[in-house]
Amino acid sequence: MALGTRNVTAPFSYDKIVCPQFSASDIANFCQPLHDKAAKLDEQDKKNRLLRLVQLIDLTSLGGDDTPAKIRDLVDKAVNPLPADVAAKLETKDVHCAAVCLYPARVCDAVSYIKEKYADHVGHLHISSVAGGFPSGQYKLVTRLQEATLAIADGADELDVVINRAAALQGDWETVYNELSQMRAVCSETVHLKTILATGELKNVENIYKASMSAMLAGADFIKTSTGKEVINATLQSAWVMCSAIKDFHKSTGIQVGFKPAGGIRSVDEALSYMLLVEELLGKEWICPELFRIGASSLLNNVVKLLA
């Protein structure tokens, strides 16, 4: 899909991140029907959406027990997410996940394996690394920036970085912005920046909106709900707030920023609910790998079962 101008760092001011007056009942009324809508999709529409969903997944492995062999298995699954019989039944080919998402120490494993076994997928299957003190962000900025720099040097072409939640919870949005701006500078023009807000730790709607706007002003290409390590991960309510911020940012700048829900999304209807939310708030043009991803590890298996 041909997109407009890629996001760049813009000057920060507190006036640019003022949160509108959101009604809790309005958010609930919008979100509550989405799961039912997903469950009631007609069979063909659901299959088409599931096939699209496969191509929007950042297939993730973020375990302390990750090994080179485990990463090779992850890459195999991301390149060939559909068993041969399912692909034949659907009369489709060249279907692959959007990216693999892994720790910085495992980036080299993925890069070398893709070059060795899947040379035709170089540049098509993205390699996304969580970096910058994932998942807590409770590290000195210099080490977070160095970790991001090293992940890129090893071959990551996307970074999933966490915001400074301590600064966010103190209302110090300029620090949140300044740190992310430096991350964006590390990425330059070749590596995409996905900023993780950890919405479950931000306490309220206003903080989620301000975090979203601060990240986008800093140059984030995507804003992402969660690390998957919080007690509360992705919710439709937090997604609504984030997508509303994306809509406002697009209206004021003309720049399209992507959205990535992640953390605990396992059921197909739940994943489809996020897809429907994005469609209804931002438009169908957002349903592409450049603007919408889902971070997941077990979701793919459930999608494939329904496609079989």
For the chain (308 residues), the mean pLDDT of every run of 10, in chain order, is 76 98 95 95 95 97 97 98 94 94 98 96 93 96 98 98 98 99 93 98 98 99 96 96 99 98 94 98 97 93 94
C-alpha to C-alpha distance for 270 and 26, rounded to whole angstroms: 20
C-alpha to C-alpha distance for 101 and 106, rounded to whole angstroms: 10
Q: Contact, 54 vs 255, CB < 8 A?
A: no
Looking at residue 189, its pLDDT comes to 85
The single-letter DSSP state of residue 306 is H
Beta bridge pairs of residue 193: 159
- The packing angle between helices 236-253 and 268-282, to 10°, is 30
Which token pair is 280? Answer: 């209804």
Q: Contact, 7 vs 216, CB < 8 A?
A: yes
Neighbours of 52 (CB within 10 A): 15
C-alpha to C-alpha distance for 164 and 173, rounded to whole angstroms: 9
Upstream peptide bond of 83 is cis (omega within 30 degrees of 0): no
Looking at residue 1, its pLDDT comes to 40
The single-letter DSSP state of residue 262 is B
Which token pair is 302? Answer: 């459930």
Of 26, 46, 67, 117, the residue nearest 273 (C-alpha)? 46
**Is the pTM value of this prediction over 0.75?**
yes
C-alpha to C-alpha distance for 289 and 52, rounded to whole angstroms: 9
Instruction: Select 23-307's CATH number: 2.60.40.10, 3.20.20.70, 3.40.50.2300, 3.40.50.1820.
Output: 3.20.20.70
C-alpha to C-alpha distance for 175 and 133, rounded to whole angstroms: 16
Q: Contact, 7 vs 221, CB < 8 A?
A: yes
The secondary structure of the chain in percent helix, strand, coil, rounded to multiples of 5, reads: 55, 10, 35
Q: Contact, 95 vs 87, CB < 8 A?
A: yes
Looking at residue 5, its pLDDT comes to 76
Beta bridge pairs of residue 127: 100
Q: Which residues are catalytic?
A: 224, 260
Amino acid symbol at 137: G
Place of tokens 């299959």: 47
Alpha helices in 40-124 (DSSP H): 43-54, 68-79, 84-90, 107-117
Q: Contact, 188 vs 215, CB < 8 A?
A: no
Looking at residue 296, its pLDDT comes to 86
Q: What kind and span of H or E run contains 238? A: helix 236-253
Looking at residue 210, its pLDDT comes to 99
